[in-house]
Structure 1
Amino acid sequence: MFLGASFDSHPPFDIVSEGRLGKIYRARATWVRSRGIPAGIGLWFTDKKRSGGGALIDIGVHALDTAWYLMGTPRPISISAKVFRNFAHFVTSPVFDVEDEAYAFIRFANEAIVELETSWAANLTDDTPTGPEWVGRESNNCILFGTKGTLRLKPLTLFADNNGKLETVPLEPRYSESSFEMQLRNFASAIRGQAPPANNADQAFELMEMIDGIYASSELGREVPVA
């Protein structure tokens, strides 16, 4: 089974696998829009019966997956989280029973942590326009903190220790292919038996366990274990 996650076909994984960050102990994953509720696309995004959830399962899952994959997919053990529905008044959808924001703190068996922030409609102005279909801006980034260095994906930058001094090292992409092209190439190689898949069903299951744990923690108002 092959999980189609283009964000996992990511050139920065080479930087991580080369050990340039040392031991990764923390990641911060964000996908935050200022005014980006996808309410006009068939009206199903804001209907929990059809979508399964809101901002978390729409865009937050991709931010979490990117960080978790680059960390080496450590086993999650507990989650503390809170989801919110604060901005339904921005749209005219007849049904709006999903979260428009979610924030989570996830602990892993290797003692690393991930902090996740995702929102469709935060009161925030950031760097990147969301596009003509929405009025607003967004911040979509991942930062990996390691004992030897820190990697920021956008813009791709390495912050590394050099004999006690912190150096900022701008990095050029190593590949001309997009992440979608790399995903398709990996899929073709995997079904030919030429390479292992970049991700698999077990990883997909664990990722959804984390998403379910975020919703459960918010509903219960406490930290929850990941089964």
Structure 2
Amino acid sequence: MSDAIRDAATVLVLRRDAAGPSVLMGMRGASAAFMPSKYVFPGGAVDAADADVALARPLASRCHDRLMDEGGPTPDTIAAAALRELAEETGLLIGRPGGPPCPWPGHAAAGLTPDAAPLVYLFRAITPPGRPRRFDAHFFVADAASIAGDPDDFSAACDELSHLHWVPLAQARALDLPFITEVVLAELSDLIRDLPPDQPLPTPATVPFFDNRGTAPVFRQIA
């Protein structure tokens, strides 16, 4: 069992329409080493190659500055990892045409450059000690309106997540979820409370951070 902590990025894709808000989730395999059989958002570890991927647009300045203050991979690298994992695990692409070519198969075939501008930094959590794998996970939320193509087409998804579907936000917490996923869903609900569907996602006043790097857990807010 390794106690090394890897950087990771996760995307909550939020769909807002007449039926109410819903979020994209899928179930991890029963044999997965990390969170088996749990419903989660698309995401995974940051790869070294993510640092070399050009973005059509960077993160919004507030999100960028918060990530920059934390150290570790650059904000663009973490954002690129989030967009790559979304593409791999769901087949959905957030990108823009006319930018630098992207080496990722889905974006390359569509002629899109990954676009970090729609990502809103929502939450950060480090896996507690003693788990099979540990991650310093950065959670982003993106509006489904930023997806290029059909948001219901998961045909290009890999097999890491099964049962991919849009879950009504009011029902999501009834699924078999990791504790941290429940917490993040609560933060998302707070973020969009009373927000009209035609309004852009706001940047939260602070980003909650569950810090488990030390011997005792610490909860703080990233200003």
TM-score range normalised by the length of the shorter chain: under 0.3
In our comparison, the structure showing a higher alpha carbon Rg is: 1
TM-score of the superposed pair, with normalisation by structure 1: 0.27
